[in-house]
Structure 1
Amino acid sequence: MFMTTGDLQRSHMITSVVSATRKLMFQSDEVDQFERFDGLIEQVKRDLMDKAKKAGGDGLIYVNFNQEIAQISVAPRYLVVTGYGTIVKLAD
């Protein structure tokens, strides 16, 4: 199983598109903790790979991640990471 942010330079068949989202709540009185995005990205990577594997894919291409801070009313705030990519099956 592989993951890349670009194209694949060998024969392959696109099977589906997959996405995954993880969030982490932190209190309003805490200083913004952008370094915590790293852990969320790793979790989203695992989720994407699991979904691709269950779909019978060999890997993911054009993988992208969006990071944001979402605030609901005054509190709480959430660090949110969404990842998506294209599942491919390698040709023999």
Structure 2
Amino acid sequence: MGLLRWVSQGVGYLKPFATEINPASVTHGKDPPRYETAYACEGKVLKIECRDGEFIQLIRANYGRFSITICNDHGNTEWSVNCMSPKSFRVLHSK
């Protein structure tokens, strides 16, 4: 499972094993930033987008698993939750 944080401006498509998107802050005008989190499980595509005048700022991203409860429809309890790729943020930031 991955964690990805962003602030909005644009559209992004991800096709990860399991990615959590945690949009940092969506900044627009004088409103406070909006933080969002999203996940994409194995075989799924995650699309992130924002409204006009906003931008997406990634805060954190992970390709791997930090939680046994996300993307685990069958309740597998033997999976490692210490699984991650140190390149996740860099790869997504370059998109």
Normalised by the length of structure 2, the TM-score is: 0.28
Bigger share in helix = 1
- Structure with greater contact order relative to length (CA < 8 Å, sep ≥ 6): 1
Normalised by the length of structure 1, the TM-score is: 0.29
Greater gyration radius = 1
